[in-house]
């Protein structure tokens, strides 16, 4: 499960990708996100260069880069940390599993490497811009599972 915070971050970015420069308050109300919590999230995203802000009387937020350069994976790593299901499979925060004898022969690692790869395959490719597109148009990948309430 991704965190509520990450969901809020993605929602906020999708809102900013509309192109306006809304205030925190406007985003919070429109997206039903607790306002002070959203402040912190937007600060995180700002520190990482995804959004920029204008202070003062008619301030607000906007994307600091094109929406088609912001992947879901990038957002998740900022908010939730590594995507990999095992520390020993993380690209961004590698750590050996403390109970693992030998990574090269670890059966668990081998299986989860496949999970990690397929997750990255989606998350590091799909951008905020793509996610905004209505389905039914030409799509990057296969979206046929939209109707199946599964997993």
Partner DNA sequence: ATTAAACACTACAAGTTTAGTAGAGTTTCA
Partner DNA sequence: TGAAACTCTACTAAACTTGTAGTGTTTAAT
For DNA, which is the closer residue by CB, 16 or 116?
16
Whole-angstrom distance, CA of residue 13 vs CA of residue 62: 9
Q: Residue 57's binding partner, choosing from DNA, a second copy, none, with beta-carbon cut-off 5 to 8 A by kind?
A: DNA
Rounded to the nearest 5 percent, the helix, strand and coil shares of the chain are: 50, 10, 40
Q: Of 18-26, 48-56, 59-67, 81-89, which part binds a second copy (CB under 8 A)? A: 81-89
Of 20, 19, 21, 140, which Cα lies nearest the Cα of 72?
A: 140
Write the interaction track for a second copy spanning residues 92-131; mark x where CB under 8 A is met and - where it is not.
--x--x-x-------xx-xxxxxxxxxxxxxx--x----x
Q: And the tokens for 100?
A: 């693992």
Query: Which residues contact DNA by CB under 7 A?
Result: 3-5, 23-25, 34-37, 39-40, 42-43, 46, 53-61, 80
């Amino acid at each position: 499960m991704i965190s509520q915070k990450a969901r809020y971050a993605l929602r906020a970015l999708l809102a900013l990708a509309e192109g306006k420069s809304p205030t925190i308050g406007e985003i919070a109300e429109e997206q039903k996100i607790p306002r002070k919590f959203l402040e912190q999230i937007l600060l995180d995203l700002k520190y990482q260069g995804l959004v920029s802000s204008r202070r003062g009387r008619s301030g607000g937020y906007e994307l600091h880069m094109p929406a088609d350069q912001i992947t879901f994976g990038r957002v998740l790593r900022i908010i939730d940390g590594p995507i990999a299901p095992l520390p020993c499979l993380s690209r961004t925060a590698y750590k050996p599993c403390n109970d693992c004898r030998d990574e090269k022969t670890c059966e668990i690692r081998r299986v989860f490497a496949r999970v990690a790869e397929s997750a990255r395959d989606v998350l590091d490719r799909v951008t905020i811009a793509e996610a905004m597109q209505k389905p039914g148009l030409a799509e990057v990948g296969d979206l046929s599972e939209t109707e199946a309430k599964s997993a």
